Amino acid sequence: MSDKLDQRIQLVASTAFNALVDDWRRRQHDLPSRSEAIRRLVQLGVKHDEEFPMRMITAIIRPHRYEAVREGLLSLGISGVTTTEVRGFGRQRGQTEFYRGAEYDVKEVPKLRIDVAAPSELAESVVALIQEKAGTGKIGDGKIFVSGLMDVVRIRTGERDANALD
């Protein structure tokens, strides 16, 4: 790639976007111009996608929403999901339940943890699908965590990266 800067790109950005870029560039040791800051941020994004070509999406959801999420993931072309029964709490700090007329507090609420490895280009679709299918609009719907995934290896064949996901 040539270092010669001979192409201009017009960027229309919101005030909030400009503020984010300006905050980032002020934290840099050499205080680049806004256009140089945007150029660096784009390069960092491209480098990140090269280093982490896949994403690990972990979702903590209500157990009764699992089937809808599973069917949606299959329709997206996701061929593998790992599911674990977990217990925990968030803002609600547990819940009150009734059993045979007696009230008792449950400190950790039962949830399902779903782990999905996906190519980075599918990550946003997977997150949107899980949010749509698992959401009820009530406290306790859960969380979705997305992290970079450097490498995947299929144990049986040694296939790597996206080939190991199929």
Q: How many other C-beta atoms lie within 10 A of the C-beta of residue 160?
A: 12
Residue 113, classed as helix, strand or coil, is strand
pLDDT at 1 over 60: no
pLDDT at 51 over 90: no
What is the rounded average pLDDT for all residues in the chain?
Answer: 88
Question: What is the rounded distance in angstroms from the CA atom of residue 95 to the CA atom of residue 108?
Answer: 8
* Radius of gyration over every alpha carbon of the chain, rounded to an integer in angstroms: 22
Q: pTM (2 decimals)?
A: 0.72
Which bin fits 34, alpha (ψ -120 to 50), beta or left (φ > 0)? alpha
User: What does the pLDDT look like over 90-119, one tens digit per residue?
Assistant: 777 666 666 677 776 777 888 999 999 999
User: What does the pLDDT look like over 120-156, one tens digit per residue?
Assistant: 889 999 999 999 999 999 888 999 999 998 888 999 9
pLDDT at 63 over 90: yes
What was the pLDDT predicted at 151?
87
